Amino acid sequence: MSSAVERRRPPTAQQFVLEELRRAITTGELRPGGPIRQDTLAARLDVSRVPLREALKTLEAEGLVVHHVHRGYFVAELSLDDLEEIYRIRRLLETEAVRAALGRMPDGLIGSLEQIQEEVERASLAGDVTAMAEANRRFHFTLIEASGMPRLVRLIATLWDATDAYRSLYYTDTTHRELAVHEHRAVIAALGEADAAAAVRRLDEHRDHAVAALREVLDLR
């Protein structure tokens, strides 16, 4: 777990454990298909097994972990069909969010995206996969949240959570990081021209490239 655990500790033990487990899974620290060793985690997080079990039940309902009788909890592992279905649903929902965001165009949106993009590019150049994945998520959700549709944002976030560990695998390749940087810049350019069709097309290409690369990763597993 992160060395910054104490600074992130929220009000209750269960919330704390839930956030730490979700972060460890979505950053790839806990790998897809890997076992979740409850005794080790409880000791590392300095909590009892009770909040840990409750957090695992929540993550199971979210689809981030699975429970096998007599074997315990494991980080959920996606099949190629799962991955493609999730990205297909994302395309539908995120297209709606982007069109709504462009209809509203909150003040400072493009400036915020450009600032986050600078973080994306620094992480890409440094080869910092975790930082790149985190900045990438902030980039996309800054745009999605500009839709002003919080229920839609929550639905999309659930889909992202299910694939974040695989996204980290995608960013281990320098070529993939460079492509993502280029695609983000193209999205910002389309937004600057208030061209919704171009922004949606660029984002579709961005997702398609990720799926194609992850398809190869999953085929090799």
pLDDT tens string, the chain, 221 residues long: the values are 555 555 555 568 888 998 888 888 877 788 888 999 999 988 999 888 899 999 999 988 877 889 999 899 999 887 888 889 999 999 999 999 999 999 999 999 999 999 999 999 999 999 988 889 889 999 999 999 999 999 999 999 989 988 877 777 788 889 999 999 999 999 999 999 999 999 999 999 999 999 998 888 776 55
Check whether residue 51 and residue 93 sit in a common domain.
no
pLDDT of residue 8: 52
CATH of the domain at 31: 1.10.10.10
The pLDDT value recorded for residue 177 is: 93
> Same domain for 44 and 84?
no
pLDDT digits (tens, 9 = 90+) for 128-171: 888 898 899 999 999 999 999 999 999 999 899 888 777 777 88
Claim to verify: residue 145 and residue 203 sit in the same structural domain: yes
Say which residues have a Cβ less than 8 Å from residue 114's Cβ, sequence separation at least 6: 188
Domain stops at, among 75, 100, 132: 75
d(CA 94, CA 202): 12
Maximum Cα–Cα distance for the chain, whole Å? 57
Residues 59 and 35 in one domain: yes
Which CATH number covers residue 154?
Answer: 1.20.120.530
Domain count, the chain: 2
Q: Are residues 188 and 96 in the same domain?
A: yes
Q: Do 109 and 154 belong together in one domain? A: yes
Contacts of 69 (CB under 8 A, 6+ apart): none
Structure confidence at residue 11 (pLDDT): 67
Q: For 190, how many CA atoms within 13 A lie in the half-sphere containing its CB?
A: 20
Instruction: For residue 217, give both structure tokens.
Output: 């990763």
